[in-house]
Structure 1
Amino acid sequence: MKVKVISVLDDNYMYLVIEEQTRDAIAVDASVAKKLKEIVQKESVNLKAILTTHHHLDHCRGNVDLLQQFPELQVYGADDRIGGLTHRVMHNQEMKFGAINVKCLFTPCHTSGHICYFMREDDCPDAPALFSGDTLFIGGCGIFYEGTAEQMYRNLIDTIGSLPGDTKIFCGHENTVRNLKFALKVEPDNEKVKEKLAWAKARDDDDIPTVPSSLEEEFLYNPFMRVREEAVKKFTGKTDPVDVMRILRKEKDSFKKPKDRLPIPTILAFQFCLLNQSSSTENGAE
C-alpha cells in the first residue's frame, strides 16, 4: 500500500492511497480536484473512491468536480454537508477496496460528523495507516468547533489510542512545528518534544512534509495524548483527564507566536480565497 502525500492550499494535505498490484487508488480529503487529477494521471492509477473526513471546504471542495470527471466515483463520509457525498458511513463500518481494508472511526468534535479512516492491506508487512483529518495532528489535535473536551478525549484516548502502536498517522494539515512549540510550553523538560521539534523545524526549513508520525510516538510528545501524565496535569492545574483536555485546548487556542499564528478568522478567510482561486484555475481563468 503506497500513500502519496499531496500538499495543497496553505497547509493542507490530501492523500492518494494506491494498491500497487492492481493500480487502483483511493483519495482522502480531495480538496483540489485539478491537482488530484494530475497526480492520478502521473501515477497511472484508477481512482475508485474518495474518503472525506469532514465537511470543511479545505477537505472536500474537489469532490463535485471529480465526480463530473469520474462518473463512477464513490464519495464516502459521515456528514450530509460533504459536497458530492454518495455513501454515508457509520462508526466501525468496514469497507474493502481490492486488498485495502478500511475501518471508519467516528470522531466527532472538530465537526459533529468527523470520521477517521484506518487502513491496512491484505498480506502486507507494512504498518497500518490512520487518516486522521482534523482530529489528530502531529503533536496536537483539532479545534473543538462543534464538540466538547469529552468527545475529543474519547476520540484520542479510547478510539484512536486503542489502535496498534505502529499505526502511521497521516493528518489533514502541516502544523507540526507550532504544535510542538506549544507542547514544549506544556512540558519544557520533555526530551522527546525537544527532539521532535528540532526534527520538524529542519523538515520545515527544507519544505519537506512531517507526515507521517506513528501512534506510539504521539503518546511521547503530543500533550493531547498525554492528558494523564503528571507534568501535563500540573500545567493545566487539573487532575481529571477530560478537564486537562479542556484546559489544554483553551491554552492552545490562545497560544500565539508572531511568526506562526494568525487569528482563526484570518486563516479561514485565507483558505476560502485559495479555494476560490483553485476553482478559477480549474475553469481556465487566470
Structure 2
Amino acid sequence: METHLFACLSDNYGVLVHDPDSGETAAIDVPEEAAVRQALADTGWTLTHIFITHHHNDHIGGLEALNGPDIKVIGPKRDEHRIPGLDVTVSENDTVPFGGEDVEVLETPGHTSGHVTYYMRKAGLAFAGDTMFTLGCGRLFEGTPADMWSSLKKISALPASTKVFSGHEYTLSNARFAVTADPTNEKLKARLNEVEKKTEQGTPTVPTTVGEELETNPFVRAGTVEVAEAMGLAGESPETVLAEVRKRKDNF
C-alpha cells in the first residue's frame, strides 16, 4: 500500500492511499478540493474511495466537489446527518473492503461524538483524524475526557509499528507543551529536539507510530505515574489526569 501525504488549508494534512495491484485510491478526509486534485495529479492516481473521519469542515470541505458516481464515500454512522453524500456508514468493528484490505473501523469519540479511526491491518496504517496527533490529541469539543482516554487506548493498543496519520501539523506546539507535562521523560526531550529540526527544515512530523506515542505522548501516557505526578494528581484515574493535561494544553 502506497501513501502520499500533502498539506491543505493552513495546517491540515490530507492523505492518499493507493493499492498498486487493484489501482484503487482513497483519500482520507478531503479538507479542500484543489489540494486533493493536485495530489492526484502529482501521483497519477485515480480517486475511487473517500474515507471521512469526522464532520468538521476542515475535513469534509472538498467532499461535495470531489464526489462522483465512480467514488465510494465512507463515513461514521453517528455523523451521517452532518456529512452529506455518504454511500457507506460505519460503526465500531465494521470493515470496508479496499485494495485487498478489510479496513477496520474504530469508534474514537472525544474530539467529536461521531469520530472514527480507520485501520489497515495488513499495511500497518491507522488514520486517526483529530483523535491522536503526533505528541497530542484533539480538543474535546463534543466528548469527555473518558471518551478520549478510551479512544486513545484503542489506537495505542494497535501494534507498536503501526504508522499513525493525523489531520494536522500541530507537533511543534504539542512537543513544547509535552515536556512540561512529562518533564522527566528523556525520550520526549530527545523527540522535541527532533521535532524542532524537522520543523526548521519544513519536514512533516506525520506519520508517527503507536510505539513512539506510547513512549512520549502525554495524553497517551495519562495513565502513567510520571504524568499523574507532573499534573499534581498522583493516584488519580487516567481520565482525571487526561482532563488536566488537556486543560493545560488548551491554555498553553
**Contact 2:24–2:49, Cα closer than 8 Å, also in 1:** no
1:82 alignment counterpart = 83
How many correspondences in the alignment?
Answer: 247
Mapping 1:16-165, distance limit 5 Å: 16-67=16-67, 70-78=68-76, 79-80=79-80, 81-121=82-122, 128-157=124-153, 159-165=154-160
**Contact 1:132–1:169, Cα closer than 8 Å, also in 2:** yes
Cα separation, 1, equivalents of 2:42 and 2:134: 29
Gap change, CA 1:120 and 1:45, over 3 Å in 2: farther
- The farther-off stretch of 36-45 and 203-212 is 36-45
Which of 161, 165, 169 is the equivalent residue of 1:166?
161
Shift in Å, 1:66: 0.5
1:8-63 deviation digits (Å, cap 9, x = unpaired): 11110110001022332011011111221222233222211100111111101111
Cα separation, 1, equivalents of 2:169 and 2:21: 30
Q: Identity across aligned pairs (percent)?
A: 38
Say whether 1:246 aligns with 2:247. Answer: no
Shift in Å, 1:95: 1.2
Shift in Å, 1:97: 1.2
Say whether 1:188 aligns with 2:183. Answer: yes
1:261 alignment counterpart = none
Mapping 1:273-284, distance limit 5 Å: none
Cα separation, 2, equivalents of 1:252 and 1:38: 34
1:208 alignment counterpart = 203
**Contact 2:7–2:35, Cα closer than 8 Å, also in 1:** no
| 2:74 counterpart letter in structure 1 | Y
**Contact 1:14–1:29, Cα closer than 8 Å, also in 2:** yes
Which of 200, 219, 223 is the equivalent residue of 1:224?
219
Gaps of 5+ in 2: none
Shift in Å, 1:237: 2.1
Cα separation, 1, equivalents of 2:192 and 2:124: 25
Cα separation, 2, equivalents of 1:52 and 1:191: 36
Cα separation, 2, equivalents of 1:17 and 1:10: 22
1:87-117 deviation digits (Å, cap 9, x = unpaired): 2111110111131331111111111110111
**Contact 1:61–1:83, Cα closer than 8 Å, also in 2:** no
Shift in Å, 1:227: 1.2
Gaps of 5+ in 1: 122-126, 256-286
Cα separation, 1, equivalents of 2:42 and 2:167: 23
Cα separation, 2, equivalents of 1:38 and 1:221: 34
Give the TM-score normalised by structure 2.
0.94
Aligned partner of residue 47 in structure 1, secondary structure = coil
Shift in Å, 1:214: 0.6
**Contact 2:33–2:65, Cα closer than 8 Å, also in 1:** yes
**Contact 1:227–1:244, Cα closer than 8 Å, also in 2:** yes
Cα separation, 1, equivalents of 2:160 and 2:39: 30
**Contact 1:12–1:58, Cα closer than 8 Å, also in 2:** yes
Shift in Å, 1:5: 0.2
Cα separation, 2, equivalents of 1:190 and 1:197: 11
